[in-house]
Structures are given as C-alpha cells and as structure tokens.
Structure 1
Amino acid sequence: MNPLQNAEQAVLGSVLLDPEQLAHLPWLAPDHFDRPVHQALFAALRKLRDDGHHATTAGKSVPLSWVTDAVDEASLHVRGLTAVYAHTLISACPRAGHAPVYGRMVLEGAIHRSITGHAIRLHQAARADALRGGVEGALHCADVLNGVLDDLAQRWGSEPRPVEPAPATAPVTAAVAPLPVETGQGVEDERFLLAVLADRPKAMDEVVGWLRPGDFADPAHGHLYRCLGALHHRGEPIDRITLLWEAQRRGLLGDGTLSSDQFAAICDGVGSGSAEWLGEQVLRSSVTWTAAGSARTVRALAENEALSPGRLINHALHALGPLDDVRTRWQAASGSPAPAPTAPVHSPNGPPPAQVHAALARSTPRPVSPPPARPGSAPARALPRPPSRGHG
C-alpha cells in the first residue's frame, strides 16, 4: 500500500469527476506528482480548463469528452496512458469534494522529495569542491536549497524560520566529519598553520577574527588552536613551553586528546609561511565538510515521512545554520562578496497574502453546527441534497 500514490490517484479522480475542483487547487503544480503519467494528466486537465473546455461550464453533468480530451492531451507528453486508466482514477476517488485534502497529501510528498533531491546535490557539490579545492559549487547549491525551502514554505502557507528538532525527532546521523578527500592536504595545512602561530605569536592577529577551533579537521589541532587563542586573548607570551602548559591545564595531555608526538611534530616543525593564507585553506576545507554534514542532516530529515512539511522546512533551515556561520567567516577571510538575500521581507502586520491564501486553500472550514432548538420550537426543515455530478 502506497498512501502517496493513492492520494495522487484520488486528486486526479476528483478533477475528472468535477472540473470545478481545479479552482481549489491553484497551489498544486504538475511537478508535485511523483509519477510522470500523473504529472502529464494533471497538466492536461489544467490546460483544458485554461483553454475554456466546455466541461467547465457544463453544469451538473460532466461530459465524457472531459475525460477523453484530457487523456488525448496528456498522451502527447507521456506514453501508456489510456482511457481505462483514467476511469480507474475516477473509481479511486472516494469523494470529489475532498480534492484539496488529497492535493495537500500530494504536496507533502513533493516537499519531502524536493528537499531530499536538493540535499543530495548539495552533498555531491561539497565532495566535488573538496576534490578541486573550491567552495563555489557547495555554496551555490546551499543558496538553491535555501531558496527552495522558502518557496515550499510559501506554497505550504507557513513562515520559514530555523527551528531545532526535538531530541525525539532529531535525525540519527553520524557526527559531522571531514570528507575523506580533506584528510590529507587539509591536515597538513592545519599542522603548518599551528607551527607558524606557535613560532610567530603576532600571526594570531591575522586569523583570530574569523578562524574557529571547530574549523580544524583534526580535533587535536582544534584544541591546540583554542589554547593559542586563550594565550593570545589573555595577552600572555606564546612559545613552546607556555603552549604546552596551557594544553596540560586543559587536560589535553591527560585524556589522550593530544599526544606528545603530535605536539612535538607541530612545535618542532618549520614555522614559515603566511598564517592568513594557511588559515584560509583550513577555513575552505571547513566550508566543504560542513556543507556535506548539513546536507546529510537535511536528507535524513526529509526521509522522515512522519515530519509535517512545516516542521521539515524549519528543521532543514536549522540544519543549514552551521554552514551559514562558516560561510560568513569564509567571506570575511577571503573578501568574497556576500550573496543577495533571497528571503522576502515580511510585513510586520502578518504573513504575506500568498501564504494566507495557500493555507486557506488547503483547509476547508468546518461547518458551524446549528444551535440546539428551543423547547416547543418547530424542527428545522432539512435542505434537499444537491444531485451528484456524473459523466453524461
């Protein structure tokens, strides 16, 4: 049993039974359907409506040509569609008037698929950037994903904002780790940078404003950089002895975080080179593996079918937060221009009209129950049921 396929069949069956249901589905697009045959058929039904097909003004009885013309139009774009399948869709629809609810289910499935696909592309771009030593592809895909999340929020009728998932619903993903391609040259750059900072303390001024301990692929290097930052912040002298003492005070030697061989390899190394340039290489690597980690988290969220679209969008925005932070620091370090904001500026008086329209279009207000009749009053006359629409 596939609930999403049943929903796609039901919404198409609703429109085939009652063309007027298209007026309640302006927020639903053909590419929101998973199956190509359903995409083509929904696009054909919208085209017939826009072209003024006589079935849209036929009144109570819908002519059979509404079905046959829709099949003929859709068959121009997809193969294997027959009138028999169209009537199967009609029989799969419990109630034509529930089309907005069926359409909401289709949109939910499309939101999960879209976010999953863009998360996969972000991860692939991060790996490719790590191989060629760049960040442009990953940052572009991150921009696209942010724009997609904002557009999906508008369609769903919610306000996009980062929200941390609750521990019970947080995705179970592996800890963010550097990409395999980063563990070679990236770790070497970190070692050279620490050697420069230990040998030339004034070089800390070149990187301390935008480089963070979490940007180091090797955790031991990150802890040692934190020790250098603490000495620099307190204005204490930095050399091999003071750095070793700070590491010992922080327990890095006792718990095995930093070995004596690692410390010797850094402090006995050649402390020559540009700290700013080496810091940029470390930060560039941090951008790519942070992008990959955010992509894995977003994908895990999107593959959780229990998450509603609004929560999924907000949790995905939260998962992109670490990438936004390291990206801001990368732009400050490299002098790259910041991208133009893609999120719309919302009115302080409430959500945008497009969001309100989408939210209302997806929900049918409950009928108000009549007040109970007073004792002695005549019972209200039942209204006659309107005749059901059928194919003539």
Structure 2
Amino acid sequence: MPHTPDTPDITEDDDLDRVRAALQPVHYAEQALLGALLLDPQRLADTTTLTAGHFDNHNHATLFTAIRTLPTPDPADHAKDAAWLTKVLEHARPKSRSLSSSYLHSLIQFCPQPKHAAAYARMIRADHARRTLSLHAERLALTATDPAGPDTTAATLAHADTLARLLDDLAGQFAPHPGSLPRTPPAPTAARHGGEEDLYEERCLLATATAYPAEVAQMRWLAAEDFIWPLHATLWQCITALVHRGDMVDPVTVLSEAQHRGLITDTLTSRDLIALISTPAASPEYWGENVLRRALLARAHTVATRITTYTDDLANTPHQLITGSRRALADLNSLRTRWHHATSPALATRSAQASATAAPRAGPPPATTPPAVRLSR
C-alpha cells in the first residue's frame, strides 16, 4: 500500500476536530479521490454528484474546487509534465496556504486505483450525510433545551421538520439495502427530572382534574407517560379510569382507586393523597397543556440524542442512519399529534381563559399546599 500522505500543517483553516478526523476512513477516501483526479483529471466525470461542501477537510475541499474549476488538461500533455498540477496548486493556495507541491504528489502516490474514483466519491458523500445528520440532531437537542427561546416548542417542531426534510432528501441519494436498521444498540432512556415549578403544575393538574372530571373526558391527548413523577402518572390513570368508566370522581373516590393500584403506603398516606388532589386551580386543560409541552420537549431531546448515537457509530451506513432516524422521529411525531389536538383553536381559547385565573406558575403555592411527599422517579 502506498505511504499515507502527511496532512498539511495546521493553519487557521483547520482545528483539532479536523486533526481528529484524519483518523477516520473518510480522510483516506478524500486523499485517494484527490490523488486519482490529480493523476487522471478525466476521472472528474465519475464525481458529478460530488461538491466541495461534501469534503470534511478544508484543504481537500479547496483542492477539489481548483480541480473542478480549471479546464481539464489534455491527457497526453498531462502525462509529460506537471504544468496542470502547478495551476491547481496556485488556484488553491490563496485559500489553503499550507498546501504544497509535495503534498499533491503524495496524494497521487497514495491513490490505490484511480479507476475507483467513483467509489471514493460515494464514501465522501456518505460521511457528509452522517455529519450533516449529526449536526441537525445537535441543533434539535439544543433548541429543545433552550429556556430563553421566544417559543421553544414551535422552534423545536420547526427543527424536527427540517430534520425530516433532510432525511427525505438523503433517502433519494442512497439506495436501500438488506439490514436497514442501525447496528447501534439502543441507549437506555434517561430518567426525566423536574423542578419545583414542574412539581407544582403536575399537582395542580391532578387536583383540578379531580374537581372538574367532565373536562378530563376531553383530554385524551394527555397520557400518563407525559408526567415526570411516576406517582403523578399513576394518579392520572386513577382519575381517567374513573372518568372513562362513568364513575363519580372526587378526592375520596380517587383515593379508593389509588388504593387498588397500591399507591397507599407508609410514605404516602391516605391523608397525604387527599390533600394532594384537593386544591384545584384554573382548568385541567391549562395545566395539562403545560405538562404535555414539557413532555414534547423532553421527547425531542431524547430523539436527538438517539440520532446522535447512530451517527457516532461509523458502522452504520447512510441507509441505516436514515431508517433509524426516521423511526426516532416517529416517536416524536406521535406525541406531536397529541400536542396539536391539545392546542387546537377551541382548546387553546379555553386554556387562555383559564390561565388568566391560574396561580402564578413560578410564585408561591396555594394557601392549602399539598404536604411534602417523597416522590420516586
């Protein structure tokens, strides 16, 4: 195998990430392709779908731009002298000053088979797809956890749409193959954690739902999995079970349902539970929408993390990345559908009216504060 060319000296155009990238297979694919094109410029016809933007290394992208920009030399003339190579270097040097004539000749010597240029180009495009998908997943994760955004939910869903369009575009570029699922083992789902405001709003929802069960019947868009605390999730199931059976709903009947589900313990007494669900405020839809919003953003972050896990695994092909990422987005879309039901115009109007009478979200709790109960996560 020819000696691997030394990467040009690091300049302002390169950073540590680029140096680490030199250890990745795509770095050698870029070197092999450039060597093939420098040795046989006619091979440029095998790279019609490739652009400089697909390259991971800045110097390599600059060289490719120069090769594509300059007129292709006559094969006979190119075999006799290095005039065209000199022109390529002169064209690329203003944007990549670390390039040298010796590096260009090293690229030529490194290329195993110039006739394999199309294969090298496919490798470069595949890695570019992986990096692009990783970047979009990172943006989705950052947006979903940005508390300073003017409308974090809308921005998160917009990024999810952008990610979906990217996957559609990539699906048209890479052919499917057997074994389409990612090889990467699924990462365990991280437990959600909430603050005092989250705790207060979930408790307000449970108390208000107990007081106004008729409205709960219209809240099929909210699921137990949307709650942060398992205790609250089970209490929501108690309330909705009573509502859907047509039974009477009040703190005592909810207590009975909770008893049958094994919630009453030394830690959570009957008195504690009744106090927890006996302080209604505003409307169930108002608090339910807040709970669902947090669940939606948490799901978006989980989906982004899962996609990043796929892209970090170099064993996955583009088709596997596309399939795995689409399945991950499907998990977000299922919750997104429920969010759209919750925020339909009719419900949004009632929620806005309820918010006007709701207690301050970040302020002190109501006068009859539910007792402090140890909540398992």
TM-score band w.r.t. shorter chain: 0.7 to 0.9
- Whichever residue aligns with residue 109 of structure 1, its letter is D
Post-superposition CA distance 1:189-241 (Å, at most 9, x none): 11101100112211203422x11111112222122112222222211111222
Does the alignment pair 1:194 with 2:194?
no
Consecutive unaligned residues in structure 1, runs of 5 or more: 337-392
2:161 & 2:98 partners in 1: Cα distance?
A: 38
- Whichever residue aligns with residue 273 of structure 1, its letter is A
In structure 1, the partner of 2:343 is 334
2:270 & 2:144 partners in 1: Cα distance?
A: 34
Q: Deviation of residue 262 (structure 1)?
A: 6.0
Does the alignment pair 1:275 with 2:270?
no
Does the alignment pair 1:171 with 2:186?
yes
1:65 & 1:247 partners in 2: Cα distance?
A: 85
CA, structure 1 residues 54+117, in 2 after alignment: closer, same or farther (shift >3 Å)?
A: closer
- Whichever residue aligns with residue 343 of structure 2, its letter is S
In structure 2, the partner of 1:373 is none
- Whichever residue aligns with residue 305 of structure 2, its letter is R
1:262 & 1:304 partners in 2: Cα distance?
A: 48
In structure 1, the partner of 2:235 is 224
Q: Secondary structure at the match of 2:173?
A: helix
Q: Deviation of residue 69 (structure 1)?
A: 2.1
Q: Deviation of residue 332 (structure 1)?
A: 2.1
2:202 & 2:120 partners in 1: Cα distance?
A: 54
Return the TM-score normalized by structure 2.
0.77
In structure 1, the partner of 2:3 is none
Name the structure, 1 or 2, with higher relative contact order (CA <8 Å, separation 6+): 1
- Whichever residue aligns with residue 116 of structure 2, its letter is H
| Overall identity of the aligned pairs, in % | 35
2:99 & 2:105 partners in 1: Cα distance?
A: 11
Post-superposition CA distance 1:320-351 (Å, at most 9, x none): 22211111221222238xxxxxxxxxxxxxxx
- Whichever residue aligns with residue 28 of structure 1, its letter is L
Q: Deviation of residue 248 (structure 1)?
A: 2.7
CA contact (8 A) 1:177 1:289 kept: no
Q: Deviation of residue 133 (structure 1)?
A: 6.4
Q: Deviation of residue 102 (structure 1)?
A: 1.5
Does the alignment pair 1:69 with 2:87?
yes
Which of 98, 104, 107 is residue 116 of structure 2 equivalent to? 98
In structure 2, the partner of 1:213 is 224
Matches of residues 1-392 of structure 1 in structure 2 within 5 Å?
2-48=24-70, 53-55=71-73, 57-58=74-75, 61-62=78-79, 64-129=82-147, 134-158=152-176, 169-172=184-187, 174-178=188-192, 182-208=194-220, 210-253=221-264, 263-268=273-278, 270-335=279-344
Q: Secondary structure at the match of 1:128?
A: coil
CA contact (8 A) 2:171 2:322 kept: yes
1:83 & 1:298 partners in 2: Cα distance?
A: 41
Q: Deviation of residue 116 (structure 1)?
A: 1.6
CA contact (8 A) 2:36 2:115 kept: yes
Query: How many matched pairs?
Result: 320
CA contact (8 A) 1:25 1:100 kept: yes
Bigger drift between 111-120 and 133-142 goes to 133-142
CA, structure 1 residues 200+43, in 2 after alignment: closer, same or farther (shift >3 Å)?
A: same
Q: Secondary structure at the match of 1:195?
A: helix
Consecutive unaligned residues in structure 2, runs of 5 or more: 1-22, 346-377
Post-superposition CA distance 1:366-388 (Å, at most 9, x none): xxxxxxxxxxxxxxxxxxxxxxx
Q: Secondary structure at the match of 2:217?
A: helix
Return the TM-score normalized by structure 1.
0.74
